[in-house]
Amino acid sequence: MITANLLTKRYGATKAVDNLTFEVPPGVVTGFLGPNGSGKSTTMRMIMGLDVPDSGSALIEGRPYSELPWPLREVGGLLDAKAFHPARTARSHLRWLALTNDIPLRRVDEVLDQVGLSSVANRRAGKFSLGMSQRLGIAATLLGDPGVLLFDEPINGLDPEGIRWVRHFLRGLAAEGRTVFVSSHLISEMSLTADRLVVIGRGRLIAETSVTDFVARTGRGAVKLLTPDVAVFTSALTAAGAKVGDGDGGALVVEGLTAPQIGDLAVRDGLRVHELMPITASLEDAFMELTHNEVEFRPPTMAGAVAAGAKE
Amino acid sequence: MTQAIQTAPLGRYRVKNVVRSEVAKIATLPSTAITLGLTVVASLLVTGLVSNAALHHAAPYYDGFDPTQQSLTGLIVAALTGGVFGALLITGEYSSGTIRSSLAATPRRPILLTAKLGVAAAATVVFCELLSFVSFFLGQAILSGGGAPSASLGSPGAFRAVTMTGLFIALFALMAFGFGLIFRSTAAAIAAFVGVVFVLPLVMRGISQPDLRYVPTNILTNSIMATVNQGPGGVVHPLSPAIGLLLMAIYAAIVLVAGVGLFVKRDA
């Protein structure tokens, strides 16, 4: 369990993290979502004791990181894919780490094996690709077999196979009962990996909820309807109190009635239904809606960009 | 919670755990072998050349000749390369990002630093002492082989000069380690070290007539390495070896204390 309580960090006049309070429970993957520059890394660094909060606290199982008796046996943190000396081999990097926390040295080969780096264990880590570096970083988090794991953007720079591997890996760790906290700015990835979400923007908490609730909360509750009987259906739906709009490919977008209600209405009036589907907002839609005002540096909108281009 | 693969030992991590890890770190860095190897080669080369240059002179040349000092001259080079070694011990961690792994593994900074500094000090003292003795024996072998006056460890002041020279060079390395803590960048730390130790005295001499007895490199050559009282009447008498060594220890401590203070407080 990780608990952040009114966590605040300023850099000069900017509040990088602003009164952030949330919990990361064990047994599920908790995604830490926010645009770039929203304070995710700073928050993780404070949890790991690398940065000192200006006020508030971040606790691991009720204790600040610096007071953990054997930190690597309780917390595994991957905050930076390249937190090793490029001239050391993968094995020597893990060996010195193991020695700090009195971890048996056989663990070094075990975790190298777990992340698939056994064959390059004696190669200088500086020669590793970004994907291999991420794996070495993940191996380091596993050394002490900790109950709490933090990963900051672990899939950055990974190929599709690597991303899949990390996703299964994180879910596996959570399934073993561990606390797994993983940050990302990639919403689609979080929808596949995480069960719960902590969403922040400009250092402030926007939402702390399950992925399904998060999507449902911001969903529009509309239903897509494909029918050859457009005119009759439209008047029947309007008569039933629904709002009918045009969707893609000749489909109707119905708001105000649920899919079962529309189906029942079709049977009653003998109308043909070719396709009937509730439109759920994607996690991305939900995220955009909630963080709309929280993005620090927003690119110009597409329309704005086109207009600017046309002037040239 | 899952069954842990291994149960944690009692207590908490201590300096001894971090010392083991720091020893492993030094031993697995190629820059250790490179900087120390370079130090050995360069120092002994200079000692060899300087000792050889002292051969085959007419008798007056050897008035007040100090064979011990002559044979330790090469260690001045070690003051520079040893400084690079000392700075790299800490700046290498910052430039590579290893420092964040170190602090995640052992977040209590005073403990991490005690171990790091202890290992750095032990390694440099042992290395510099060995180098000092080897340089002495090499120089004396050349001098006596060429028929010039030579010394043995039993000669007055010789043993003191050799052991203190080793310590003195180690203090240079530790001072550079302190600059590494302050600046966190290899280039800045080495620039500061070279600037303060080698360049500042030159600048000072250009501005006024300072008492150069207090300059580290002068203390090294005139107070620490020397066994024969320097200078005929009229020349300022150098500091005594003990005072000279103490002064250098204070210089190094000032830099180290500043570095330690910053390291303990600062965000990583």
Per-residue pLDDT of B194-252, as tens digits, reads 999 988 888 887 777 777 788 898 899 888 999 886 544 445 568 899 999 999 999 99
CB–CB of A158/A84 below 8 Å?
no
Report chain A residues whose CB lies below 8 A from the CB of B13: 69-71, 100-102
**Which pTM was predicted?**
0.83
CA–CA gap between residue A167 and residue B38 (Å, rounded): 48
Tokens of A208: 């702390």
Q: How far is CA A136 from the centre of its chain?
A: 21
Residue among A83, A85, A100 minimizing CB distance to B92 = A85
Phi, psi torsion values for A277, nearest 5 degrees: -150, 125
CA–CA gap between residue B69 and residue B59 (Å, rounded): 19
Residue B113 CA: distances (Å) to CA of A281, B15, B110, B117, B184: 52, 9, 5, 6, 14
Average per-residue pLDDT for chain B: 90
Residue among A71, A79, A86 minimizing CB distance to B105 = A71
Angle, in degrees to the nearest 10, between helices A130-142 and A160-175: 10
Residue A201 is classified by DSSP as E
Across chain A, the runs of DSSP E, i.e. the strands, are 2-11, 14-24, 29-33, 55-60, 75-78, 148-152, 179-184, 196-201, 204-210, 222-226, 243-246, 252-255, 275-279
Q: Is residue B4 part of a domain?
A: no
Report chain B residues whose CB lies below 8 A from the CB of A68: 12, 107
Report chain B residues whose CB lies below 8 A from the CB of A70: 8-9, 12-13
Angle, in degrees to the nearest 10, between helices B75-96 and B109-145: 150
Judged by CB atoms closer than 8 Å, whether chains meet at B17 and A99 is answered as yes
Predicted ipTM beyond 0.85: yes
Residues of chain A with pLDDT under 50: 302-312
Nearest Cα neighbor of A135 from A94, A175, A107, A101 is A94
CA–CA gap between residue A203 and residue A194 (Å, rounded): 20
Q: Is residue B154 part of a domain?
A: yes
In this prediction, residue B234 carries a pLDDT of 40
Report chain A residues whose CB lies below 8 A from the CB of B4: 73, 145, 147
Tokens of B149: 């006056």
Judged by CB atoms closer than 8 Å, whether chains meet at B97 and A80 is answered as yes
In this prediction, residue A238 carries a pLDDT of 92
CA–CA gap between residue B45 and residue B47 (Å, rounded): 5
Q: Is residue B234 part of a domain?
A: yes
B3 touches chain A (CB under 8 A): no
- Residue B113 Cα, gap to closest chain A Cα (Å): 13
Q: Left (φ > 0), alpha (ψ -120 to 50) or beta: where does A26 sit?
A: beta
Tell me which chain A residue has its CA closest to the CA of residue B95: A85
B114 touches chain A (CB under 8 A): no
Nearest Cα neighbor of A2 from A134, A180, A138, A144 is A180
Residue among B5, B17, B25 minimizing CB distance to A101 = B17
Q: Which domain holds residue B86?
A: 15-265
Nearest Cα neighbor of A197 from A9, A15, A40 is A40
Q: Is residue B73 part of a domain?
A: yes
In this prediction, residue A36 carries a pLDDT of 83
Tell me which chain A residue has its CA closest to the CA of residue B91: A85
Tokens of B101: 């792994």
Residues 154-193 of B with CB under 8 A from A: none
Strand A55-60 to A75-78 pairing: unpaired
Nearest Cα neighbor of B29 from A92, A109, A80 is A92
Report chain B residues whose CB lies below 8 A from the CB of A100: 13, 17-18, 20-21, 102, 105-106
From first to last of its 268 residues, what are the pLDDT tens digits of chain B? 444 445 778 889 999 999 999 999 999 998 899 999 999 999 999 999 999 999 988 888 888 899 999 999 999 999 999 999 999 999 999 999 999 999 999 999 999 999 999 999 999 999 999 999 999 999 999 999 998 999 999 999 999 999 999 999 999 999 999 999 999 999 999 999 999 998 888 888 777 777 778 889 889 988 899 988 654 444 556 889 999 999 999 999 999 999 999 999 888 7
Q: Into how many domains does chain B fold? A: 1
Report chain B residues whose CB lies below 8 A from the CB of A65: 107
CB atoms within 10 A of CB A89: 19
Judged by CB atoms closer than 8 Å, whether chains meet at B13 and A102 is answered as yes
Q: Which domains does chain A have, with CATH numbers?
A: 2-216 (3.40.50.300), 220-279 (3.30.70.100)
CB–CB of B245/B167 below 8 Å?
yes
In B106-157, which ranges are continuous DSSP H helix? 109-145
Q: How far is CA A104 from the centre of its chain?
A: 33
Report chain A residues whose CB lies below 8 A from the CB of B264: none
Percent of chain B scored above 70 by pLDDT? 94
CB–CB of B158/B151 below 8 Å?
yes
Nearest Cα neighbor of A107 from B6, B17, B103, B1 is B6
Tokens of A189: 């990835």
Q: Which residues have C-beta within 8 Å of that of residue B122, sequence separation ≥ 6?
A: none
Q: Is residue B172 part of a domain?
A: yes
Report chain B residues whose CB lies below 8 A from the CB of A99: 17, 20-21, 24
A169-200 pLDDT per residue, tens: 999 999 999 999 999 888 778 888 999 999 99
Angle, in degrees to the nearest 10, between helices B241-265 and B158-183: 20
Tell me which chain B residue has its CA closest to the CA of residue A140: B101
Angle at B173 between CA B204 and CA B105, to 5 degrees: 130
A50 touches chain B (CB under 8 A): yes
Tokens of A245: 């709009």
Judged by CB atoms closer than 8 Å, whether chains meet at A70 and B20 is answered as no
Angle at B11 between CA B8 and CA B14, to 5 degrees: 105
A49 touches chain B (CB under 8 A): yes
